Structures are given as C-alpha cells and as structure tokens.
Amino acid sequence: MHGTQLPQDQGKEVAFAGRSNVGKSSAINAITGIRSLARTSKTPGRTQQINFFELDATRRLVDLPGYGYAKVPEAVRRAWGTMVGEYLRGRQSLQGVVLLMDVRRPLMTLDRQLVDWCRVADLPFCVVLTKCDKLSLSRARSARAETLRHLMASNDPTVSKARVMLLSASRGNGIEDVWQWLDGWFEGE
C-alpha cells in the first residue's frame, strides 16, 4: 500500500484495472495459467493493495485494487484514488493498462473516468469485457461492438483506435487475444 513496497521501477509492466469484483484477479490467474496466484474472492474489495506478479526478470503483471464498491468508506476510496493515480501517472515501467469491465454492464461512470484518465495521461489501454460466459455468444459480441462504438465516439479527435476483447476466465476463452495484446506492449520499444 505504500510506495516503498513497490518493486523497482525497471523492466516492463502491464496493469489490470477495473471495478471491484469485475474479475481482475481471475483474469490474471487465467492469463498466467497459475491458479490462485492473484487471490480471487466472492467479497468485492478483496484486493486493496497493488500486487505485482513477475512473469520473468523484466516483465510484470500488476493487479490494481478495484474501485466502485459502494460499501467502501470514503477515506478508503480517497486512498484508492491517490494510490492508483500516483501509480498510473508516475510509473516508468508501465507499458499499458488492461481495463476490465463486466460484459453485462460495460462503461459505467468510473470505467469511463479511467478511460479518460488513460487518454489524458497518454497511456495505452485496451478494454477486456469479463465474465462473457454469463451471456450468449451473440449478446457478448454485441456488447463488444457497442463498447467499441462508444469508445470511438469520443469527442477527442486523437482517438482513432480502440481495442475491446471478450474474456471468460472461468472457461478460458479469450486468453490468447489478451496475450497478443500484452506481448505487443512487452515487446514494444
């Protein structure tokens, strides 16, 4: 929770961000193939500090604490903003942010704020719609198309592309798509 606990700001990192309970930890577990590497929970708000997972000596995945959980006290919410804000703004090794949103309700207010935050900070991001096993394939695909449409409809003229992927951590669908994106960030100069 404190700056001193962050690993050295060297190498490359990709951070996973999203609402409480959206499936960040499950996504990291599915993506790394090591179950219970990032602790998952049925209780929203379980991950309350920034957790780092080393893929190897120079590449890390970062599990950011979730936002938007109603029962969290105001002071904790503010602490979240400070911690995550400082991390996103100040981290040299951060290559990109995976913004996770529930496929059944993407782009809620705080999700949009995080999109704006990334755009203002000029931080590359992609959107991953989680728990897509909860919808039929056709409904998941239309949620994806709709989300893409919203992201492209931004007033910002520099927004020329956006990436939205479907993921089911529990079924293992979409992991390859996310990896392709991560590889691009890890391999970029």
47 binds Mg ion (CB under 5 A): yes
Secondary structure of 117-131 in HEC code, one letter for each residue: HHHHCCCCEEEEEEC
20 binds Mg ion (CB under 5 A): no
Q: What is the DSSP letter of 97?
A: E
Q: Which of 12, 23, 102, 126 binds ligand GTP (CB under 6 A)?
A: 23
25 binds Mg ion (CB under 5 A): yes
Q: Which of 14, 130, 140, 181 binds ligand GTP (CB under 6 A)?
A: 130
Other Cβ atoms within 10 Å of 38 Cβ, number: 22
| Residue 42 Cβ vs ligand GTP, minimum distance, rounded to whole Å | 4
Written as one letter, the residue type at 61 is L
Other Cβ atoms within 10 Å of 124 Cβ, number: 16
Residue with tokens 């290559």: 95
51 binds ligand GTP (CB under 6 A): no
Q: Helices H, strands E: what count in the chain?
A: 5, 6
- C-alpha distances (whole Å) from 145 to each of 69, 100, 142, 166, 185 are 27, 16, 5, 11, 23
| Residue whose CB is less far from Mg ion, 22 or 94 | 22
Stretch near Mg ion under the rule CB under 5 A, chosen from 44-52, 84-92, 120-128, 147-155: 44-52
Other Cβ atoms within 10 Å of 48 Cβ, number: 16
Find which of Mg ion, ligand GTP, none residue 51 binds, CB within 5 to 8 Å per kind: none
| Residue whose CB is less far from ligand GTP, 78 or 149 | 78
149 binds ligand GTP (CB under 6 A): no
* Binding residues vs ligand GTP (CB under 6 A): 18, 20-26, 40-42, 44-47, 66, 130-131, 133-134, 168-170
